[in-house]
Structure 1
Amino acid sequence: MDSSFIFVPFGVKTLGPWGPEARALFKELSKRVIESTGDPRAGSYLGQRISLAIQRGNAAILGTVSRCGGFEDVLDFI
């Protein structure tokens, strides 16, 4: 990738706080979305989309766990 891309990997816990890199990335992305759309609410919309993505991921994992019999089976798979 060239220097026009920003790559910041970070993990997100369901109820855990975001680390400093994740917060900084979110602030930068929010600023850029607001600048490009002109909508001051765009940063909030981005946060809502991230929240929904986390919830969907949690639902997918929990659905897998309930079908396979428990976390032990999932951990053995990983």
Structure 2
Amino acid sequence: MQLCDQETLGSWGPEARALFKELSKRVIESTCDPTAGSSLGQRISLAIQKGNAVSILGTVPRCGGFEDVLDVI
């Protein structure tokens, strides 16, 4: 199982890596599914990306679109 170091705005610290490794191990053991750890990593990554999107969209004025936020030519 590989976990990308740059899923958000930086790499995971040692504590985050250790926590993920332990959670992944427990999920694999409880489900007897060797791919469960990878699935967990994907779900965490998606949740982070959704949270980042919500944060960005929260800065967009309700009356406008992305034109004021994105510098698009």
Normalising to structure 1: TM-score of the pair?
Answer: 0.67
Show structure 2 runs of 5+ residues with no match. 1-6, 63-67
Show structure 1 runs of 5+ residues with no match. 1-12, 71-78
Percent identical: 71
Show the counterpart of 1:65.
59
Give the CA deviation at 1:66.
1.4
Give the CA deviation at 1:23.
0.1
Aligned length: 58
1:40 to 34, 37, 43: 34
Show the counterpart of 1:54.
48
- Give per-residue Cα distances to partners, 1:20-51, cap 9 Å, x unaligned: 00000000000000000000000000000000
Normalising to structure 2: TM-score of the pair?
Answer: 0.72
Cα distance in 2 for partners of 1:67, 1:37 equals 44
Flag the structure with more relative contact order, 1 or 2, with Cα contacts below 8 A and sequence separation at least 6: 2
Q: CA RMSD in A?
A: 1.8
